[in-house]
Structure 1
């Protein structure tokens, strides 16, 4: 019996439908397997809510037997670059601070890949030996110039842990790769407090980017340091990549007087200016921000060749207070004040009317037109009102906090630059003017520089630092910053 042609067509369609069904089932099963594997890996990054007696997945070995998290490899440290082992890309951590303003967390200053960084978790050891594993958020600091590596915040999130940020002060925290959360940590940081101490409202501290290339401008450093002290600065945070013997000796003396916090710094293993921006300075700025919070009412960020000089008041503290006081309710006083930059090129002639052979007395010619705000400007900021610092402005402030520029008739950033900012000498043809604002402090500064130079000449036997006008002028010419 022959089947009608229509029956053959139906059988062919049935076979095609069956093949398509089998094909769909295969991909559904394959997808479920892949989803299960991804979910299993992703669970490694979840916070462990319980302690050593937890039945959390994070505390089990592959055989399912309960295992305690590995103990720290060494005592907790502060202000030391330490590696995170097992990551695909370079990952180092430097310092840790309790954070309770933006989120309940431990904020870690780190350096790693700018984009698509390795996933990590935080392991926290409390003083009573209780251990927590916390979910971590890795956030590149925004001023990274799109280089491969960036200064970075690692936020160890305390939600679901039952801990408050204040509880973590003095505890030890490590960053470990989420791919192997139970491996022994290769870093351990002590968590520092960020609570402001009483009576710091008017205090002014200075933060400077890392000193490098065996920084050796000894005479200028004394002048810069002493003029800042005359301006009301009570403490300095410096980061030491490399210093000359004379400047190292000088800083030892200032540290004994309690005026300087000198912190070790290095760009290794990152290739400076290739992998990462200038000496990883944005990590230093933000470490300085959080480190200074307990003691500084104001934090001034300037370079070693810059001075922020008020044009009416004698001190920066008086200037900052006066500017804030000029804001009447309901206007809110600013929490950050920006100083516009003016270049005092060192190639220009010395001032014939300089009262002393001080750099700030001799170099009084500057570009007539200061640069605009956020273009080479520097700033003073109330640390408790800032979240993320940049070089020339603040990237993020607390909600409601504002930054504003200081009028040039009130203050100016004196930038004693060695060369034109774009190379060559074309900048010298720009209109210029003589600005002797620095002469207002010349008498006191001369006295201080004389005394400090003699003091350090006596203590630093490797060089003669006897101060007189001719010898100081000669060294100034030879060793300007």
Structure 2
């Protein structure tokens, strides 16, 4: 017979010429067999280790780093902070307790980037790290960068957190400056607020210098009931800065130094075909959302419009009466959209009656009372008054995500008076609609502007 060899347990059986012979294997064979087993065991251990590490990376367990004094010393000093080794910029951080200790970081990110991000929460000298989720908002207007939420669930182990940093590596030393964390609590019932109305202006750029209209808008906000105006400023003229300094010292205005143009090639338009760049309109969407969240706990309503726009009531004398009327008639509505009406500042319609500040540079909104008729079957760029506690994310002309309904406010109740250059070039001057509704506020507006201009603009005295 031929030769057959088989293995069983630790013995080797050999069948040779029909006879069975049992004998113990040689030391050389045992050593070889042991090497095979050890090699297999080592491979299995490496595989298990890799699987465990991969599982850890995928599930991102909480990492505690003790005695890290960087949270106290490395705090952000600018309104916009770049995340190290990434194309992402942080604006502000809010502990959104409406959604179970969710940290929401308002950000600006490169939409093509696929980096992972991690939040590092500071509690005293201890940092707790957790994986972040990035939600890029769809209102990016086809620019390469868009506004985003970087979301992190705050781990229970983190305790009471005071600041947060963001990095692209989970266990790295967080070198991106820490942002202070503001708390957003779920508010119900008739809570008391510091203010009834806060106005958000985004953004002031292009060496803005329209002094008279700027003062008139701020004074109209005051007359109508606003107690605070937040202005996201990139740059302005020296004279506007002087006006800003006055209102800031007075307490009515808060200026946020909006320095996104130091980081990106920002556009001055709403779409790339008009003015190419990295980001829509100086990051207007991120600024608006930051303003909403900043005022969520302090203001009953937030008004979202530009500095050349004023929501002017038709039926009422102020915003509080107007909003009371709208709220009673529309239960469950949390965002109120006002029809945009362009008043051409090229057309004068007051017969010189309100030509009161010839030495103050800028547009006098009291003199321009001819508006363009609305375009049929086209988008109307409405602006808003919102309950900030119901807002999750807003765009420029509508709230994209909220807890509640939206109302298109009838023009018979109020209009957005937008005093600017011609918008619809197909409309002839003869087709404009004369609208003097603003004049019912003229006495108070003239008095206020006279006072402010005489105090601020010494070289541009108001006519008494």
TM-score clears 0.5: yes
Listed as ranges, the gaps of 5+ residues in structure 1 are 1-32, 54-67, 459-463, 470-481
- Give the CA RMSD over aligned residues: 2.9
TM-score of the two chains, using structure 2 as the length reference: 0.79
> Following the alignment from structure 2 to structure 1, what is the Cα–Cα distance between the partners of residues 375 and 280?
26
CA distance in 2, matches of 1:191, 1:38: 36
Residue by residue over 1:369-408, the C-alpha shift from the partner in whole angstroms, topping out at 9 and shown as x without a partner, is: 377796210010000000101100101002xx11111111
Distance 1:185 1:130 in 2: 15
Q: Which residue of 2 aligns with 1:396?
A: 401
| Distance of aligned partners of 1:234 and 1:139 in 2 relative to their CA distance in 1, 3 Å threshold | same
2:314 aligned with 1:317, yes or no?
A: no
TM-aligned CA deviation for residue 193 of structure 1? 2.1
User: How far off is 1:41 after superposition?
Assistant: 6.0
Partners of 1:353 and 1:279 lie apart in 2 by 37
Residue 145 of structure 1: CA displacement?
1.0
Q: Which residue of 2 aligns with 1:454?
A: 454
Task: Answer whether contact 1:289 1:383 (CA < 8 A) is retained.
Answer: yes
Given the alignment of the two structures, is residue 109 of structure 1 paired with residue 106 of structure 2, yes or no? yes
Give secondary structure in 2 for the equivalent of 1:207: strand
The 5 A counterparts of 1:374-413 are 375-398=380-403, 401-413=404-416
Corresponding residue of 2:171: 181
Aligned to 1:336: 335
Secondary structure at 1:297 match in 2: strand
Q: Give the number of aligned pairs.
A: 402
Give a deviation string over 1:31-59, Cα, whole Å, max 9, x none. Answer: xx999879846744644436347xxxxxx
1:252 alignment partner in structure 2: 245
Alignment partner, residue 30 of structure 2: none
Given that 1:365 and 1:433 are in contact with CA atoms closer than 8 Å, whether structure 2 keeps it comes out as yes
Task: State the Cα distance separating 1:187 from its structure 2 match.
Answer: 2.0
The corresponding residue for 2:200 is: 207
Shift of 1:201: 8.2
Q: CA offsets per residue over residues 268-308 of structure 1, 9 Å max, x none?
A: 32111211111011110011011011211000001111110
TM norm structure 1: 0.77
Is 2:286 the partner of 1:283? yes
Partner of 1:145: 141
Give the Cα separation in 2 of the matches to 1:287 and 1:374. Answer: 26
What is the CA–CA distance in structure 1 between the aligned matches of 2:317 and 2:389, rounded to whole Å?
Answer: 25
User: Any stretches of 5+ residues in structure 2 without a counterpart?
Assistant: 1-45, 268-276, 358-363
Query: Structure 1 residue 220 and structure 2 residue 213: aligned?
Result: yes
Deviation at 1:430, TM superposition (A): 7.8
1:367 and 1:433 in contact (8 A); partners too: yes
Corresponding residue of 1:417: 420
C-alpha spacing 1:426/1:368, structure 2 compared with 1 (3 Å): closer
Deviation (angstroms), 1:419: 3.4
Q: Which moved more, 1:375-384 or 1:200-209?
A: 200-209
Query: What is the CA–CA distance in structure 2 between the aligned matches of 1:41 and 1:278, rounded to whole Å?
Result: 42
Aligned residue for 2:14?
none
Q: 1:16 maps to what in 2?
A: none
Instruction: Kindly indicate whether residue 300 of structure 2 is the aligned counterpart of residue 306 of structure 1.
Output: no
- Could you list the per-position Cα deviations for residues 33-87 of structure 1 after superposition, in whole angstroms to 9, with x for gaps in the alignment? 999879846744644436347xxxxxxxxxxxxxx76834843236521121123
Asked if 1 retains the 8 angstrom alpha-carbon contact of 2:108 and 2:147, the reply is yes
Q: Which has the higher strand share?
A: 2
Q: Given that residues 128 and 158 in structure 2 are in contact (C-alpha distance below 8 angstroms), is that contact kept between their aligned partners in structure 1?
A: no
SS in 2 for 1:337: strand
Q: Which residue of 2 aligns with 1:192?
A: 182
Q: 1:271 aligns with which of 244, 265, 269?
A: 265
User: Corresponding residue for 1:96?
Assistant: 93
Alpha-carbon distance between aligned partners in 2 of 1:157 and 1:45, rounded to the nearest angstrom = 16
Q: Kindly indicate whether residue 145 of structure 2 is the aligned counterpart of residue 155 of structure 1.
A: no
Q: How many Å apart are 1:257 and its aligned residue?
A: 1.4
Q: 1:37 to 1:202 in 2, by over 3 A?
A: same
CA contact (8 A) 2:74 2:177 kept: no
Separation in structure 2 between the aligned mates of residue 210 and residue 443 of structure 1, nearest angstrom: 29
Deviations, residues 129-175 of structure 1 (Å, cap 9, x unaligned): 232101211111221012211111111212x43457xx33xx12000
- CA distance in 1: counterparts of 2:51 and 2:355, whole angstroms: 71
Which of 363, 369, 373 is equivalent to 2:368? 363
How far is 1:107 from its partner? 0.9
What residue in structure 1 maps to residue 64 of structure 2? 51
Q: 1:84 to 1:349 in 2, by over 3 A?
A: same
Tell me the residue number matched to 2:129: 133
SS at structure 1 position matched to 2:64:
coil
Cα deviation code 1:288-330 (max 9, x no counterpart): 0110112110000011111100001110121011111124xxx
Query: Which residue does 2:29 correspond to in 1?
Result: none
2 CA distance for matches of 1:246 and 1:433?
A: 34
Q: CA deviation at 1:117?
A: 3.5
For 2:342 and 2:333, locate their aligned partners in 1 and report how far apart those are by CA, in whole Å. 26
Q: Aligned to 2:224, which of 231, 235, 244? A: 231
